[in-house]
Amino acid sequence: MNKVIVITGTSSGLGLSLAIKLAKQGHCVYATMRDLSKKGELVNASYSQDAKLFIKSLNVSDTTSINTCINEIIKEQGRIDCLVNNAGMGFIKSTELASETEIKEVIDTNFIGVVRCIKAVLPHMRKAGSGHIINISSVGGLIGQPFNEIYCASKFALEGYTESMATYIPAFFNVKFSLVEPGGITSEFANNLLARYKMEPDNNANDYEPCLQQYLSGAQKRLSKADSGDIYQTSSEVADCVVDVINNPNPPLRVRSSDWANNFCAIKTQADPDGLKLVKQINELFLS
């Protein structure tokens, strides 16, 4: 059966690719974004690939915006079968150099924004007795990385939150939870993030400079096509992984989107790669 699917952060990259793929499969896709003036790339892709979808405004940092969008979709379709929390932001900066405003923005976008969206959608899914919520995480939600501590903290929070929800919501309300954990995704977003960091004042004039330059040099090299190897995937490749999770009647709690990501996280995930053993253990301990 075709599903009513809501996706956040679809103006570019993974969100855009995912929206197009799902629409082409015949699902009823609501592609949302904070700024509708940036919908041009999605509109062009939908026309060129004959992918019919709906585009709506949704700002994950604004509860009113979220509730308005979700209520409109419920009024139009009567249900939401799947929510993909894809909207997010990268952030490369050491703790000492990051402002409190920047830290709050990262946490708000990558974690609290997800909670806001789930709070808006979950009551409708519970009432329907079914649903699937997919949170786009990262290998950075499992493994800390240099100069990414704020970003990783936001994704660690997302992992813990989703894991906790998965220990009781599916069993009692039949609403499933999944985390998709990509490695690097090749995109202008990633390149711009590195370029912006190198251009910001004072970032290179401090005690972190030797470590920073080594990190940036390696990151830029890995982003280049010649040296990307298996580390980076395209948005389309990661979107294929998300589509598989959506179409899986028994989806995993956790899934990495590449062999590289699996190997990178194996030190933490090898005992329970899909996370379902943990859910069973917690259910038996707390809810039996």
pLDDT tens digits, one per residue of 150-193: 999 999 999 999 999 999 999 999 999 999 999 988 865 555 56
> pTM (2 decimals)?
0.93
* DSSP letter for each residue of 96-120: TTS-HHHHHHHHIIIIIHHHHHHHH
Q: Are 254 and 276 in contact (CB under 8 A)?
A: no
Catalytic residue among 30, 151, 161, 215: 151
3-state secondary structure of 214: helix
3-state secondary structure of 55: strand
* Strand-pair partners of 178: 134
Q: What is the pLDDT of residue 2?
A: 94
Structural domain including 95 reads: 4-186+234-286
Residue 136 placed within a domain: yes
- pLDDT tens for each residue of 213-261: 888 887 777 776 545 556 789 999 999 999 999 999 999 999 999 999 9
CATH number at residue 89: 3.40.50.720
Q: Which residue has the higher pLDDT, 191 or 142?
A: 142
Q: What is the pLDDT of residue 202?
A: 57
Residue 200 placed within a domain: no
pLDDT band at 50 (very low <50, low <70, confident <90, very high): very high
* Number of domains present in the structure of the chain: 1
DSSP 49: T
Residue 132 placed within a domain: yes
Please report, to the nearest 10 degrees, the dihedral formed by the alpha carbons of residues 199, 204, 205, 208 taken in order: 150
Q: Give ∠ CA 237-242-248 in degrees, rounded to 5.
A: 130
Residue 193 placed within a domain: no
Active-site residue 197, yes or no?
no
Q: At which residue do the structure tokens 């015949």 appear? A: 26
